[in-house]
Each structure stands twice: as structure tokens, then as C-alpha cells.
Chains A and B, each alone.
Chain A
Amino acid sequence: MKIDFSHLTQILQRFKAKPYKIYPVLTPHTGKIIEFKIKEGEEVRGPSGKWLEKPGTPLFILEREKNPKLIRAQYNGIAQNIRTDLLNRFVEAGEKVLEIKHPLSQEEIISEVLLNALLVIRAPETARYILSPELGKRLEKEGLGKVSVKEGDELLIMTFMKRETPIFLKERGTYIIYQIYFKPFELVQAGEPLLGLCPVEDLPHLEKIIQRIKAEWSL
């Protein structure tokens, strides 16, 4: 385990100073923004419900080829820096339309801190990734923190240079899939985290760290 408690305190201090994250909302493709559904400073919600079955707050409508598409919030937070000047204008793909100032929840702090504690599988290339189908199924069924993998298991599939390349676990031992840091089919920059794994034997220590974060963060 790569983290001790003094280090942990430092990291937590950093988050306490800035307990939020800013997510840009980009246009997924070209088109015309025909309506804004929110105003500056309004609260928005990401997908919710037990199965995330309730979609997020509508943000704006992007119309392209006569298909008005409702773009919804993916995170909870406050809508800010809304580019109302883009209304009724043709926008390119990947244009920033607004930001969501997202207050970090205890869970997310844990997830961020764990980047320093877990065995993190990082993107070997700037590419698109999905979980290996088998692992995906197991995770869907059992959930994070339950599924174990061992050396040689297929973890992810990378779509790169028009080829699908499987990514295997190279480390020895048995690990628990603890965190997922990417969204399927989205472009991940090389070096960005994909998965966080915890060696089975370190699980108790990890639980302690999490307890500690929980205690500190609720203060």
C-alpha cells in the first residue's frame, strides 16, 4: 500500500481548501443551440435514482439535422459561465457551453484519494476504452469492491488505431476492482486513470483509510 496516514492528512488538506471540481459541459457534436434550459447559478442534478434511471437536469437543446437533442447534466452542482451568447448560433463539436461547479461528495473525495493508494491502471494510449465484457457483467452484478481479478485476467478493451486491443492485469496476486475512473467509449488521454485495484491482502488497510477519510471529511 502506497499511502500512510501523514500523507493522507496532506491530501485531505488540499481537498478541504478546494472542495469542488469544475466540469465543463461540451457540445457532443455540431449544431445550433436553440434553447437554454437553465440560468446562471442554478442548481443542476446528474442522473439519479437507485439505478440512475432518472436522467439529469436538462441544460440546453442542441439541434442538428432536425434532431433537437436535449443535453442533460451529468453531475450535481451549480451551472456557471453559461455561454448565452451561443444561443441560436451554430457551434462546433466540443465547444464549451457551460461549467458545472460540482461540490465533491465524501465518496468522490475517497475516490480521488484512492488514486494515491490503489494500484491504478492508466491508459496506455489516448484511446477509447470499455470494460472487458465478462468483467463488465460481473461488476454490474456484484458491484465495486466485490469483484476480484488475478494476473492475466482481461480487464479492458482499448479501441486504438482501429484495432481492439485487450488490456490484461500484469501484476501478480489477486486484486479487488475498487474504482472505475473512465466512461465507456469516451476518449481517454494517455496516462489518465482507468481502474483502481486493491490487493486482497491490503483490503483491511484500505478500509481503515476510508474510515479515516470519512471521519475527517464529515468534520
Chain B
Amino acid sequence: MLVELHKKLKELIELAEYIRDIKGEEFLSIGNICNELTDFYHHFYDYSQEKIISFIQSYEEKLGKILIKAEETLTPYEIVKIVRHPQRFTLLDILENVYDSYMELGGEGELNIDPAVICAKAIITRRVGDEVYFHQVMVIGHEKGHGEEFRRGGSAAPWGNEKALRYMKMAETEGIPIHFYIFTPGAYPIEDYPGAAQQIARNLFYMSKLSVPTISFISEGGSGGAEAIGLTDLRLMAEKGYYSVISPEGAAAIEAKLKDERPPRELVEKMAKALKLTAKDNLQLGTIDRIIPEPPLGARRKDYEFFKRLKYEIIKATDEVVLQTRSLKMLRKYALSKQNFENFSYYVNWELSEDEKEILIENRYEKYRKMTQWAVLEPKSFFKCLAQRGTRLGQSIAYEVKYRVLKSGQKTFKRFFEELASESSLLLKPVSDPIKSVYNLIVGKKIRTKVRMPGEIEEETEVYVSPLALQDRTVTCPQAEKFGCPDLWVPDLYGEFCGVCPNCGYHFPLEYNWYLNNIFDKGSVKTFNDEIASGNPLNFEGYAEKLKAARKETGLNSALLSFEAKIGGISVVAVMLVADFRQGTVGVAEGEKFIRAVEFAKVSRRPFIALVHTTGGIRIHEGTMGVVQMPRCTMAVRDYVDSGGLYIVIYDNNSYAGPVASFLGSAPYQFALKSTRLGFAGPRVILETTGQPVPPDYHSVENALKRGHIQGIWDRRELRKKLFFALLTMGAPNLYYR
């Protein structure tokens, strides 16, 4: 009896301390209560049994009331603290309590390529009447407890995400559903092979078309790290979980423009609220599908009722995803049936037929395509809307006819072209007008056998002059000390030198207009969807003003330009992330524009080029609305690439975080201009996360090439030529000009 009381008292202390940790010392004198409890605990054996019983009873009551009050006054930042608390349940608790048996694959505890990621083959059972049915599933998720010292807080290393991908593929081979459990503050931001950003991008690219049902459950959803295993058919979220683009502390540091000091507590709490990171917020925003209720102040390791509930919900979610591929009637019936935690009304076979797999992937595409669309700001009338739909459809048909019909005729010159290519030479001239002669070849004109003596000397056509060039001054090349570069006269530098130091090849940043005017054929750039504007879906304080300022300054409505253009006569669809507009960060508007551009490239069978003038990642002011642009856009990319398109990404200046870890990083062809800095997280974030400083050239293109991130380093002075060459030699034969 005494033993039990002792145990009970200990649990009470744990609870009191838990409440104290979440709500703070001051909250209803919880600090004092903790002290009283520990005091009593220390002298436990000095008291009589009666005394102990009454003490425990009174404190049980007290804590019960406090717990209810605590739950009622729960703030978003307290939720973050719940999620981070060591008493919170972890993936291994789920494996123990939700699944009936499991076997960890590819590692156990510390003996693991990445202990922060767990993959397990698990069996989950359901009772229907008297029958017990077994389901095999793959469980993949983050683990931060049960050995905190080696779990890295649930931050998956690049190879941890690679391991996750391997077991996804295994599940696909075996045709079993995958349950993903997200318990991560974010990915471990190092660039070692396979690279943080690269691997997340690869995962997203693959998950877009995983042919098995996928369910994810978010307890701690830290941005890109969460997405790495988060693109799923149904997204569940723990009631006391958080899912956010950035930690409230990180957001506060950015907002207050702090470098090394800690942001003030009030600001952190404000950010937690502003980021709309709770389950309720996310459900409202449409970035998750369902909330799994938790007990007051959240489920802890021994909340068995919660695990029971979770088991029921996860089976139900899987059933629904499977049934959606079968019949709606059945689904409705299933939804209306009276089922409970103990007993299901139906058994659903989770194995999918080939047709069902197709529907599954279609459903997934639709789901993500629709996500966040409600927040797209696009001024248009009902009629315009209808008309647009009409033209889109018409366009699609026109392109279909044009290229299907033309295709056979084009085969001839294609062969001719192949012959030339096999000679390792493409009659390519790189300087002034290199492109025409090659294009002539491709469209079937013969090579001139007689050397052309130019009759009239070509007059210089009007040249675009960068506004940067219009000053009589000089600048120092940042690499002057290393390479002895002379100071550069600005009109030369930003004129003929294309912003490149002629001595060492250092690339100075240039305005985005330079690219539009110098990479593409004169006058061929036609932007579209310009009216789609960044909005303020979270009502983030101060963001609307920032957007207004950015709009005024740039004349743009979002950070992403989408346009049609020509390079040497080859028509392409392109997008460009512009540094001038909020550092080229990505939110709802940018994501939507990107997807529409990709889809446009797909129907018109044109190459798709993404120029990255700079991207600072996902725009934090749009919270998870921004984060889900990662899976959304990557799905569009996958669809385009699978349909036989040619997707080329070109990085310049600075390219970091979410976009690189998704729709940019998943491109089959990625090139970077010479002085680009490219990676997942900046040096400061790496230092904060890993405790290790990184060398100054850590994010250089040379290292990106060495790590296999990019396919090559290009020189801005040759960008047009290189792009043209790429258009001719890369990509599938489905392109319109092949």
C-alpha cells in the first residue's frame, strides 16, 4: 500500500513539475506546490498512512483544478513548450503502444546511421466483431527521446532522410501503407552528402508519386525537416502539437534583427501566436486534415488512453485514404458507421490495385493543388474566370494538335541533329549571335557550304544598360586580395563585363532586369499571372505594410516572376525569384504562380527554366501556408518532369532553405553561377544548431558541385549560350521542338 502511495506521490510531483515547466512558477502558485510536494516526498516515511492519503487526495484535487485552468489559458508558446518537454510522448512510445509489434530496421538505438530517424516494420491490428485483423505498415519518423544524448533532438541528418526514403521505397515495393510520425524541430542543416536541402528535395520528389497510402502525424513539425517525411495523403496533427515555418525564437530573432543575443520573451510569445502554429490554426488554414485530441496540457509518455485513440485514428485515416481510391459510396458508409476505439465496423484491405494506385496519386495531387488556394489573391470577375478556363482548355487542345501532328515531320531533322551531336560538335558559336545557325540546323535549314562574307556590318542593336553602370566610380573586387584584381570601373563592370571581375571571375550581383534583357531574345519576354499578389493569410502583424512597401519599391506583386520567353528562337516558360521583393522568399502567391507556370510549360511542351536571382527561403510571415508550397510545387515539378519536360534551375547570388530543399533542388538539371552561395541553412543557423562553425567557402558553388548538388558551374557572361546549349542537348524528346 505504502509503495503504491509513494508511486502516486511521485507521479503527482511529475505532473506538478510538468505544469510548472509549461505554465511557469507563478501560475496559480504551482511553484510553491511543487516545493510542498517534494518536501513531503522527502519526509514520506515520517508520516502516517492516513496523513499521506489525505495529503495526496487534497493535492490531486488541487492539481486537477489547476490542470483545467492551465488548459483553459494555454497559449501557443506554451504549446511549443509542451511539444519540447521531455515528458512528451515520442515515436518509440507510439511504436510500443499503438502498434502491436514492430521491428526497427536499419539501426537500433545508437547503432544507427541516423538515430534521429526511425524506420520500423510494424503490425497494427483491428477488431471487427470477434475477428482480429492484422495490417502490415511501414513506420517512419523522428525520435528525440529514449536516448536524448544521441538523438540530436529529432533533427534528421541528410543521410537520415535518405534512409527514410529507402524504406519508403521498400514499403512501395511491398505495397504496404506508410505511417509517418513527425517529431522534429527541423532538419540538421549540414551540407555533407547527400546534403540537407538536396535530400529533402529528393524525398518530396519521390513522395509525390509513392504508390501506397501515406498518413502523417505531426507532433513537432519544424518546417523543411517536417516536409521531408510530410507529403502524404492525409495529414493528422496532435492537438497540442505545433507545425511551423520557423521556431518562435528564430522568428523573433529575425523580426528584431538580432545577431547574437537572445530575443526577449514577450516577442517570442508574440511570434508563437503570429505564426499560427497550433493544430487548430493549421486546420483552419487547411494545411492539415484532422486533429487528434489530447488530454489537458497534452499527452505524456504514459497517457495510454491517448495512444488508444491514436491507434483508432491512424487506422481510420488509412482506411479513408484507401477507400477514396475505391468507391465514394463505401467511403460514405464507412464515415457514417458507428465505430469506436475498441471495435471497427469494417475491415478494409489496404492493398491497392494498379488502377487504385493511379487514383491515389491523382487524389494526392489534387489535394495539394488545392491546398492554400483559398489565400491566392487574384482580382478577377466571374466572367473573366470562365473565359480563362476556356482559353486554357483551348490552348491545351491547340498545343496537342500542333505538336502531335508535327512530331513525325520533325523526326528527320532530329536525326540530322543527332548525327551532329555524336560528332561531339554542335556547330555552336558562342559570341555575338551564336544561336541562329544552330537553330537553323534544328529547324532543318542546311548549313551554308560557302563562307559568308558579310555584306553590311551589323549595326549594334539597342543594348540594355544596367542602371548600376551609370556612375563614374570604381569598386574593389572582393577577391582582390587573393587574386590581385585591379579596381573595376563601374560602367565597364556592369556593362561589358556582365558584373564579372575579368581577373578572377567573381560575380557581382546584378538587378533581375539584367537577366530578362540579356539572357532571352530581344523583346521575347512576356510575363503572365502578374496580378497574383502576396496576401497576408495569417494576418501577421506588420506583414501587410512590408508587402506594401515591397510592392511599391519593385512594382511587382510577388517575389516570383513567371513569363514566356525565347532563347535563340526556342520558346520556354520561365520563372524567376527576385531578390528585390522580400529577398526572393516564397509564400502562397509565389507557390501558386510557380505551379501555374509549370503546368503551362507542361501543356505547351516547352522547357521550364527557374532562374533564382536570390531566395531567402520560405517567407516566415505566411507560416505553414508558405511551408506547404514546398510539397505543392515539388508535385508540380514531378508531374512536369514525368511528362517529358525539361526543367533547368539556375542559381545566382544566394539560394537557401525551403525552395532549394524542394521545387528547385528536385530539378534534374541544376546549375549555379560562379559566386553563388547555395545551401540549406546559413552559417549562423548551422553554428547554432551544430555548435560548429563552418568555413567561409562552405556554401560555395565549388563545394556544391563537389557534393553533387549541382550539375555544373556557369559563368554569367556565357549564360545565354550555356542555356541554349542545354535546351538543345538536355531533356526528354517530348519537348515541342524535338
| Whether chain A touches chain B in the assembled complex (some CB pair under 8 Å) | yes
Cβ-neighbour of A53 out of B471, B474, B484, B696 (below 8 A)? B696
List CB contacts (< 8 Å) of B453-507 with chain A.
471-476, 482-484, 487, 489
Q: Are A67 and B474 in contact (CB under 8 A)?
A: yes
Q: Are B476 and A69 in contact (CB under 8 A)?
A: yes
Q: Are B693 and A64 in contact (CB under 8 A)?
A: no
Question: B695 within 8 Å of A by Cβ?
Answer: yes
User: What residues on B are CB-neighbors of A65 within 8 Å?
Assistant: 473-474, 487, 489
In the assembled complex, the Cα of A69 lies from the Cα of B482 at a distance in Å of 16
Q: Could you give, for residues 177-189 of chain A, a 1 whenever the CB lies within 8 Å of some chain B CB and a 0 otherwise?
A: 0000000110000
In the assembled complex, the Cα of A185 lies from the Cα of B504 at a distance in Å of 13
In the assembled complex, the Cα of A170 lies from the Cα of B695 at a distance in Å of 36
User: What residues on B are CB-neighbors of A184 within 8 Å?
Assistant: 482, 484
Cβ-neighbour of B474 out of A50, A51, A66 (below 8 A)? A66
**SS class of chain A's interface: helix, strand, loop or mixed?**
loop
Given A65-B473, A65-B474, CB of A53 within 8 Å of CB of B489: no
User: What residues on B are CB-neighbors of A53 within 8 Å?
Assistant: 695-696
Q: Which residue of A lies closest to B487 (CB)?
A: A67
Minimal beta-carbon separation of A162 from chain B (angstroms): 15
Q: Which residue of B lies closest to A52 (CB)?
A: B696
User: What residues on B are CB-neighbors of A66 within 8 Å?
Assistant: 471-474
Q: Which residue of B lies closest to A183 (CB)?
A: B481
In the assembled complex, the Cα of A110 lies from the Cα of B527 at a distance in Å of 65
Q: Are B476 and A185 in contact (CB under 8 A)?
A: no
Cβ-neighbour of A50 out of B472, B473, B476, B693 (below 8 A)? B693
User: What residues on B are CB-neighbors of A69 within 8 Å?
Assistant: 476, 487
Q: Are B696 and A64 in contact (CB under 8 A)?
A: no
In the assembled complex, the Cα of A51 lies from the Cα of B471 at a distance in Å of 35
User: What residues on B are CB-neighbors of A67 within 8 Å?
Assistant: 473-476, 487
List CB contacts (< 8 Å) of A29-50 with chain B.
50
Q: Which residue of A lies closest to B489 (CB)?
A: A65
Q: Are A185 and B695 in contact (CB under 8 A)?
A: no
Minimal beta-carbon separation of A164 from chain B (angstroms): 14
User: What residues on A are CB-neighbors of B487 within 8 Å?
Assistant: 64-65, 67, 69
In the assembled complex, the Cα of A122 lies from the Cα of B487 at a distance in Å of 31
User: What residues on A are CB-neighbors of B472 within 8 Å?
Assistant: 66
Q: Which of A53, A67, A184 has the most C-beta atoms of chain B within 10 angstroms of its own C-beta?
A: A67
User: What residues on B are CB-neighbors of A64 within 8 Å?
Assistant: 474, 487
Minimal beta-carbon separation of B706 from chain A (angstroms): 12
In the assembled complex, the Cα of A137 lies from the Cα of B474 at a distance in Å of 32
Q: Are A51 and B476 in contact (CB under 8 A)?
A: no
Q: Are A185 and B483 in contact (CB under 8 A)?
A: yes
In the assembled complex, the Cα of A131 lies from the Cα of B103 at a distance in Å of 57
User: What residues on A are CB-neighbors of B483 within 8 Å?
Assistant: 185
Q: Which residue of A lies closest to B472 (CB)?
A: A66
Q: Which residue of A lies closest to B486 (CB)?
A: A29
Minimal beta-carbon separation of A143 from chain B (angstroms): 14
In the assembled complex, the Cα of A69 lies from the Cα of B486 at a distance in Å of 12
Q: Which residue of A lies closest to B696 (CB)?
A: A53
Q: Are B473 and A51 in contact (CB under 8 A)?
A: no
In the assembled complex, the Cα of A67 lies from the Cα of B489 at a distance in Å of 10
Q: Which residue of B lies closest to A28 (CB)?
A: B480
Q: Are A51 and B489 in contact (CB under 8 A)?
A: no
User: What residues on B are CB-neighbors of A50 within 8 Å?
Assistant: 693, 695
Q: Which residue of B lies closest to A54 (CB)?
A: B696
In the assembled complex, the Cα of A53 lies from the Cα of B697 at a distance in Å of 10
List CB contacts (< 8 Å) of A57-109 with chain B.
64-67, 69
In the assembled complex, the Cα of A171 lies from the Cα of B594 at a distance in Å of 63
User: What residues on A are CB-neighbors of B484 within 8 Å?
Assistant: 184-185
Minimal beta-carbon separation of B384 from chain A (angstroms): 52
List CB contacts (< 8 Å) of B682-722 with chain A.
693, 695-696
Given A64-B487, A65-B487, A185-B484, CB of A51 within 8 Å of CB of B475: no
Minimal beta-carbon separation of A48 from chain B (angstroms): 13
User: What residues on A are CB-neighbors of B473 within 8 Å?
Assistant: 65-67
User: What residues on A are CB-neighbors of B489 within 8 Å?
Assistant: 65
In the assembled complex, the Cα of A65 lies from the Cα of B475 at a distance in Å of 9
Minimal beta-carbon separation of B610 from chain A (angstroms): 31
In the assembled complex, the Cα of A69 lies from the Cα of B485 at a distance in Å of 14
Q: Which residue of A lies closest to B698 (CB)?
A: A51
List CB contacts (< 8 Å) of A158-200 with chain B.
184-185
List CB contacts (< 8 Å) of B403-446 with chain A.
none
In the assembled complex, the Cα of A72 lies from the Cα of B425 at a distance in Å of 50
In the assembled complex, the Cα of A64 lies from the Cα of B489 at a distance in Å of 11
Minimal beta-carbon separation of A57 from chain B (angstroms): 15
In the assembled complex, the Cα of A184 lies from the Cα of B471 at a distance in Å of 32
Q: Which residue of A lies closest to B485 (CB)?
A: A185
User: What residues on A are CB-neighbors of B693 within 8 Å?
Assistant: 50
In the assembled complex, the Cα of A51 lies from the Cα of B695 at a distance in Å of 7
In the assembled complex, the Cα of A186 lies from the Cα of B471 at a distance in Å of 31
List CB contacts (< 8 Å) of B524-539 with chain A.
none
User: What residues on A are CB-neighbors of B474 within 8 Å?
Assistant: 64-67
Q: Could you give, for residues 138-168 of chain A, a 1 whenever the CB lies within 8 Å of some chain B CB and a 0 otherwise?
A: 0000000000000000000000000000000
Q: Which residue of B lies closest to A66 (CB)?
A: B473
User: What residues on A are CB-neighbors of B482 within 8 Å?
Assistant: 184
User: What residues on A are CB-neighbors of B696 within 8 Å?
Assistant: 51, 53
User: What residues on B are CB-neighbors of A185 within 8 Å?
Assistant: 483-484
User: What residues on A are CB-neighbors of B695 within 8 Å?
Assistant: 50-51, 53
Minimal beta-carbon separation of B62 from chain A (angstroms): 55
Q: Which residue of A lies closest to B473 (CB)?
A: A66
Minimal beta-carbon separation of B689 from chain A (angstroms): 18
21 A-B residue pairs with Cβ-Cβ distance under 8 Å, sorted by A, are A50-B693, A50-B695, A51-B695, A51-B696, A53-B695, A64-B474, A65-B473, A65-B474, A65-B487, A65-B489, A66-B471, A66-B472, A66-B473, A66-B474, A67-B473, A67-B474, A67-B475, A67-B476, A67-B487, A184-B484, A185-B484
A-B interface, 5 closest residue pairs, ranked by CB to CB distance from nearest: A66-B473, A185-B484, A67-B474, A65-B474, A53-B696
Known: A67-B476, A184-B484, A185-B484. 5 other contacts (CB 8 A): A64-B474, A66-B473, A67-B487, A184-B482, A185-B483
Interface residues of B (CB under 8 A from A): 471-476, 482-484, 487, 489, 693, 695-696
